[in-house]
Every structure is written in C-alpha cells, then in structure tokens.
Amino acid sequence: MNRILRGIDPGAGAPALASLLALTTLLIVMSAGAAQAASQTAAQAPGQAATQGVVQAPNQPAATAATAATAPTAPAPTSPHDRGDTQGFRFQIITGDESAVTHRIAEDLYKRLVPTFAAFRTELAQKRRMLYIAIGPTALRDALSRRCDCVVISAYTSSQVWRTLTSRQSQAQTRQRRPAITAIYAEPAPSDQMRLAALLYGRPVRVGVLLGPDTAFLRPVLHDAAEVQMYSPGEDLNHTLNSMTRAEMLLALPDSDIYNAENVRNILLSTYRRKQGVLGFSSDMVKVGALATTYSEIEDINAQVAEIAAHFVGTGELAEPQFPRYFRTIINEGVASSLDLRVTDAARNFARRAPATP
Amino acid sequence: MNLRFWRAWGVGRRMAVITMLPVALLFTSFVWYSWYAHRAQVAEELAERGRILARALAETSEYNVISGNLSDLRLTINGLVQSDRSIYRVDVVDASGRASVRVVSESATDAQPHYYEAQIRKQVVWINLFSDNGTPHVSASSDSRPPTLTTEVVGWVRVTMSPSNMMAKQTDRFQIELSMAALALAASGILAWVLARSLIVPLREAIGSLRQIRGGNFQVTPPVSTGGEIGELQSSIGEMSLALGESKRDLENKVAERTRDLLASRNEALRADADKRKLIQKVNEIIEDERKSIAVEIHDELNASLIAARLEAQAIGLLAAKAPPGAEVTEIRRKSEAITKLALDLYANGRRLVRRLRPEVLDMLGLHGAVEEVVRHYDSTSGCRFDLHSEGDFARLSNELAISAYRIVQEALSNVMKHAAARSAHVSLLLDEGKGVLRIRVVDDGAGFDTASASEGIGIIGMRERAYALHGTIDVRSSPGEGTDVAIALPLNVPAQPSLITPAAPAAAS
C-alpha cells in the first residue's frame, strides 16, 4: 500500500482525501473518452491514445500527471459534463483501509478494469468521466462525499450500510450534484439463500427472517418467501426469537441492530436449541455455528464489478444496485448432522461461477 | 536418664526390640502418612472437582443466564447434583449478585465451609458482521479463524462440595491399609517372639548346663538344637563339660597320688620327729646321767680326797705346832696352812662343780627352790636385778620335766647375763594344772635383738631343742632396744605318739 501512496502527489491529494483517516487511495488514471464517443470514434481513437494516453500503474513514478488529472477538486462550473464535451472514462479504486484483503481486492480489480479502460487512454484526462469503485463502507463514504460528475460503484458493502449511507447522502446533497451510483451488495442474494435452504432440506422449507428498522426495506422482497418477524432495538431478542416458532430456518441478513458481536452467539445457540438452522451471510458465520450460506469470493465480486463497469462504459447505462451474481456454498457439516440434515452434493456444489477471466 | 538402660536387658528383650522397633517406627510413620495422604487426597480432589465443576457449569450456563432460561439450567444442575454425592450445593448468581438458581443435594450431609467460584463470561464471536465499521464486507472466508472473546461477566457459579462421601471412601481404603499394616506388625511381633525364643531357649539351656557344670556335674551334654553361634555354644559347652570331667578326673588322680606321697612323707617326718625327740631326750638323759656320775665321782672321790688332804695338812700343822720352833717348822706350818686353804678352795670348787653338774637342789628343794637358788645366785653375782614369781605346786612334776625346766631357766638367765646387759630381769613359773601346762617366762629390759634378721644363738637353739623334746613350745619376742621376752610352755603329760596316717584314708588327710 505504501507503494500506492508513493504514486500520489500530496499537494494534489485534495482536502477530501486528506481528511480521511488512514485512507489510502489506489489511484488509477486512465485517459478515456466519453462512453458514447468511445464507441462511435473507436476507429480514430487508437492513434491519439498511442501518443497521449497514460495508464498509471500504482507503483510507477509518473504520479504527478496522473493525480493532477484525477483531482476531484475541479469546480462544478468547469465540469466537462456541463460542457458536454467529455470523451471517454477513467477509473479510480477507493479503499478505506490498509488490510491485506483490501490490497488483494484492489490489485485483482485493477487487473480486471485495465482492459476496459485501455481504449480511452489517448483522451485528455480532463475530458474523461471518472468512475469510482469504492471498496468497503469507508471508501463508499469517501466516494459519496465527492462532488463531481462521476459514477460510483460500491462493492463490499452490505445493503443495509449502503442504504444508510446513500439515504444520508441524498438528504445532504439534494441540491448538489450527486454522483451516479450503483452497488453490489456484500451479502448473498436472499433468493439464492432460499434455494440453498430448499436444497438442504430437500423440500420447500419455512424460513424466518428478522428485520430491524434498517433492513425493513427488504420486507416486500421477502414477504412471500419467508416468515418476516420485525424487531426493534431494545426489545428482548430472545423473546422475539421465541415467537418465531413456525420457522424451520432463520435467514440472517446483515443488520447491526440484530446481528452484532454481542448477540450473534446467543442467536446461534437459541436457534440451535430449537433445531433451527441459520443461513448466515458469510463464511465466517458458518464457521462459528451457522448452518450454511452462499458466499462470493473476492474474484466473484470483482468479476461482477468489472461487468458493470464494462456495461456502463459500453452503454452508458448504470446497472441497478444488485446482490452478488456469482457465488459458492459453504455448509457446516457438524451443525447439519446435529440438525439431522443429510447434506447432498447438490447442496454442497450449489454455485454460480463467474466466467473465467481471459 | 541413663542412656545405657538397655544393658540390663536380656537377649530376648533385645531381640524383640531390635526386630520390632524399626517395624513399629515404620508402622507408625506409614499409618500417619497414609491418613495424611488420604485426607490430602480428599481435599485436593474436592478442590479440583469443585473448580472443574464450577468452570464447566459456568461455561454451560452462559446462554441460560443471558437468555433467562433458568428452568433448563436448574434441571441440568439438579441432575448433576443428585447424581454426584460429593456436591453439596450449586448456586448460580447473576451479575447483580442475586441468586438465580440454587440446588442443594438431597444425599450429601456436610458441606465444606468454602465454595468454588467460576465467572460466567459472555462470549463474543468476533467476525465481520457487515456493520459500518470500515472494513470491506467480504462474505468469503477470512484467512484467520475468527477469535472468540469474552467481554463481560454475567454471573457466577458457586459450587459447595461435600467431603463426607469421598472421605468415607478414603476412610475405607485407609482402614484396609491400616489392617494390612497391623497384620504386618502382628506378623513381625510373632516373628520377633519366635526369633527371641529361638535364642532364649538354647541360651537358657546353655546357662543351665553351665550351672550344672559349676555345681560339679560334668556329665552334662546339652543337645545341639540349633545351628550358628548358638549351636556352636551348645556343642562347645558339651565338649567343655567332657573336657572338664576328664581334667577333673586327671586332677583327682594326681591329687590322690600326691596325697599318698604327702602322707608317706608326713609319716616319715613324724617318725623322724619322734625319733628326734627320743634322741634328744635320750641325749639329755645321757648328759644328765653323765653329769650325775661325774658329780658323784667329784663328790665321792675328789672331794673326799680333798677332805683327806685337808685333814692331812691340818695334821701336819698340828705336828709342826708340837715341834720345836724353828724356821723349818714355821715354814712347814705355813705350808700346811696353805695346803689346807688350797684343799678347802678345791673342795669349794668341787662342790660348785657338783652343783652345776648335778643340781641336787632340785632333788632337795624341788623346781621352785632350785630356780630360786639360781635366781638368787645370779642376782647376787651380777649388777642386774633378778626376781622370781611362781605359782602352783611343782612337787608333782616329773623329774625329767623339772630338769628341762630348770635347764631352760638356767640357759635363759645365762643369756640375759651374757647378751642383754639388762638392768632387771623377771622370771615367772606358772603351773596351769587345768590345761596341764607349765609356763616359764623370762623377761628382761635389755638390748634386745631383731628376731627376723638375727640368727638364733646356741642358747636359744638349746632351749628350743629341750622344749621340742618335751612337745612344748617356745616363743621368743624381741626387738632392738625393747628387751626380750621368752615364753615357754611345756605340757605336763607328754602326748602319745602321733598316729601314722595310711594313704588308704585320704579324706582324713584333707
């Protein structure tokens, strides 16, 4: 990560960057033209790109031009979007911490995005529209704080946190220009989880869901498929769980009011005592006692990000926020046998694989 | 305290002490340690079980305490408490210190004063729960295993243990150990008794045998009933008694032989002694007879001749007186007078010689008179004062005894005169008719002599010989400057000839 930082000019870092604690920005600048222009003028672009395009690798020293070009401090009136003369796109991966996982995500993502944006490298940086990819909630918050004519793809942020942050953003920036934004939620798609539940039991199964205030928006989605039990903070969680008698399984969804470090063990124990399996939302949850879950590897999410980016660059249409498309399944065999479930290979191999990277 | 008190102990007691003392010490220390170890084991086991139980119950009751599902917990704990008799009571206390569950054992009777406590900790699984905390939400597995952390204490489990059940088990074991140890002690005691007895019995037999031997019974052969030193002792005593018997027989034979020899020698000596006495008596008799005959000769012949010669000389004088005076006649008268005087002197000498050779005074005056005469004679003729003291009637004394007594007194007084240079001397004659003894004593205050160093003079030897011949005794006491005391005892009746002892009667000799 230090190598990435070395590529950034501190003077060009912008107040927003400097204000974020321990924020490291992996800055990738691609000279790019407007999406539509790219497709229309593809024939003439290569000539210019060959001479003017800059692909700034994070570990390369020519950072000045790249960072200057990517500085999001451009005043709104001079935005190329307003002038309507933007040509192509460039992208920037925003990270929120320095962990190894983040580093791995960023490096993998960079490799996947470079080919998409390589076509615009001959365009002037100022004329290229910025596409931010935010890794994690902190990075998303950072991305949302930028006032620019830009596009943000949020990844590795749960639907609850995404919704909280974006609703706050929308309230704060109603009168300002907002970046176009979409997301790939971090948690598995409820529909995939439902199918996994059916596979585990070998039949349609009654699934219960606990929803708090922050996840109440999912109620319409789940209403038909699951027994929804509302929970408001301050209530006795055990009591709420006890009242969910008909459900054979509990579908856990990220909600810090319900599934926090204090409660999660209690919830797992309570459901286990009532012979209710828990469909968690991460592999770690399965490891600590949930029955099973579908989950997405970093490569799966990154592939989806790359697909959305490519689609947007290609069509100018930004996809709607969506659940992970590619996933695999993890099952806690010990819990399964305790619950008298015979796990089939169909359940074990339940997955949707991302297409192999070229 | 006398540290050597054991020295007075017998072999059996020593043996018993040597055998039993280590065993008794071992027994005592073993029993003590065993009891201590059992008690310690109970305490340790209770503590360990209490801690483990509290810990385990704390782990299992976390969920129930948090969720408030206490009836389940009570059932669980009750099952545990009623099945384990070493648990007295289990209390579950919540965070506020209020007792949530209390289960008391129905079977346990006593409780330890303290309890074992374990905290009920709320455990938190630390995984990414997709909250807005900065890290990316990754549903795939993280690299490391999610840690489980404890955050807060939600209550306590307190287990009170009951030692009685475990103590009873340990007491049973201890009793078995104790009885085994006591059995071993008893076996050791029996062994010690048998060992001591195996020593005492042969030793007592040996002592009895030795006592018999000491009592003179050499025919003792104690049976060799055992081996080793005791057996050797027994066989040695047997051999010793045989050897002693033999040597005693040898000794007896030798003693008998020597006794025979001795008796023979004694008889010889007695015979020789009797012969000697006879001889001395005979010699004295002969001397006295010879003296008597010499005295008679002097008295009858010489003195008669001297009287005749005096008478002749007187006649010559008378004749001369009748004859005309003249020188020749005067010379003749003077010569006859000289011869008359010479004859008278010779006659007096003859009379004195006769008196010495033949104390006729003895015949005339008896022993007393004779001694008196002698004493008076010495008293008058020397510077020493002599005196005589006599008791008894000496007239019945035999002639022989009287002469010997007289001669002895004569010799003693002669010795006083010759050697003592005494100023006074005292002579006593005592006739003890009751005992039949004549006692003569001559005491002087003269120079004296050392009886041990000085050899006896002829005078004393003569006195001794005379006393010996008459079976009398002589006792001479003297020391230089202290005078001399000579005491002689003469039996009135000469004892019969001592019987000769024949070797056939050795007992009489011993």
Query: Which residues lie below 8 Å from residue A21, measured CB to CB, with a gap of 6+?
Result: none
Chain A residue with Cα closest to B143: A101
Determine contact, residues B262/B501, Cβ cutoff 8 Å.
no
Q: State the DSSP code for B417.
A: I
Chain B residue with Cα closest to A300: B140
Determine contact, residues A32/A106, Cβ cutoff 8 Å.
no
Chain A touched by B68 (CB under 8 Å): yes
Chain A touched by B99 (CB under 8 Å): no
At A27 the pLDDT is 39
Share of chain A above pLDDT 90, in %: 38
3-state secondary structure of B90: strand
Chain A touched by B132 (CB under 8 Å): yes
Q: Which tens digits make up the pLDDT trace of A107-152? A: 999 999 998 888 777 767 777 888 999 999 999 988 888 877 889 9
Tokens 């005992």 sit on residue: B435
Chain A residue with Cα closest to B144: A284
Do the chains contact at A96 and B67, CB–CB below 8 Å?
no
From residue A215, alpha-carbon distances to A153, A162, A232 in Å are: 21, 11, 11
Chain A residue with Cα closest to B60: A269
DSSP B157-215: EEEEE-HHHHHHHHHHHHHHHHHHHHHHHHHHHHHHHHHHHHHHHHHHHHHHHHHHHHT
At A326 the pLDDT is 95
Q: Which of B437, B456, B431 is nearest to B371 (CA)?
A: B431
Chain A touched by B63 (CB under 8 Å): yes
Chain A touched by B71 (CB under 8 Å): no
| Mutation target vs A (from B73, B138, B150; most A CBs, 10 A cutoff) | B138
Chain B residue with Cα closest to A185: B137
pLDDT surpasses 80 at A81:
no
Do the chains contact at B130 and A164, CB–CB below 8 Å?
no
Do the chains contact at A285 and B127, CB–CB below 8 Å?
yes
Query: Which residues lie below 8 Å from residue B78, measured CB to CB, with a gap of 6+?
Result: B103
B129 to chain A nearest CA, in Å? 6
Q: Which tens digits make up the pLDDT trace of A26-45? A: 433 333 333 333 333 333 32
- Rounded to an integer, what distance in angstroms lies between the CA atom of residue A225 and that of residue B245? 131
At B9 the pLDDT is 86
At A16 the pLDDT is 36
For chain A, what is the mean pLDDT? 75
Do the chains contact at B130 and A293, CB–CB below 8 Å?
no
Query: Which residues lie below 8 Å from residue A213, measured CB to CB, with a gap of 6+?
Result: A232, A233, A257
Do the chains contact at B143 and A282, CB–CB below 8 Å?
no
- Rounded to an integer, what distance in angstroms lies between the CA atom of residue B54 and that of residue B70? 17
From residue A337, alpha-carbon distances to A204, A267, A277, A333, B188 in Å are: 19, 19, 11, 6, 66
Q: Which residues of A282-308 are buried (b: 16+ CB within 10 A; e: fewer)?
A: bbbbbbbbbbbbbbbbbbbbbbbbbbb
- Rounded to an integer, what distance in angstroms lies between the CA atom of residue B408 and that of residue B402? 10
- Rounded to an integer, what distance in angstroms lies between the CA atom of residue B100 and that of residue B251? 111
| Mutation target vs A (from B60, B75, B122, B129; most A CBs, 10 A cutoff) | B129
Do the chains contact at A260 and B129, CB–CB below 8 Å?
yes
Using pLDDT thresholds of 50, 70 and 90, give the confidence band for residue A305.
very high
- pLDDT < 50: residue spans in chain B: 505-510
At A102 the pLDDT is 92
pLDDT surpasses 50 at A3:
no
Alpha-carbon dihedral angle through residues A40, A44, A46, A52, given to the nearest 10 degrees: -110
CA angle (B144 as vertex; B143, B148 as ends), nearest 5: 145
- Rounded to an integer, what distance in angstroms lies between the CA atom of residue B10 and that of residue A128? 125
A129 to chain B nearest CA, in Å? 25
Q: Which tens digits make up the pLDDT trace of A98-109? A: 888 999 999 999
- Rounded to an integer, what distance in angstroms lies between the CA atom of residue A113 and that of residue A119? 11
Dihedrals φ, ψ of A223, to 5°?
-55, -40
- Rounded to an integer, what distance in angstroms lies between the CA atom of residue B53 and that of residue B59? 10
Six token digits for residue B120: 């009920």
Query: Which residues lie below 8 Å from residue A55, measured CB to CB, with a gap of 6+?
Result: A28, A29, A30, A31, A114, A118, A121
In this structure, are strands B148-161 and B87-94 parallel, antiparallel, or unpaired?
A: antiparallel
Six token digits for residue B68: 């408030």
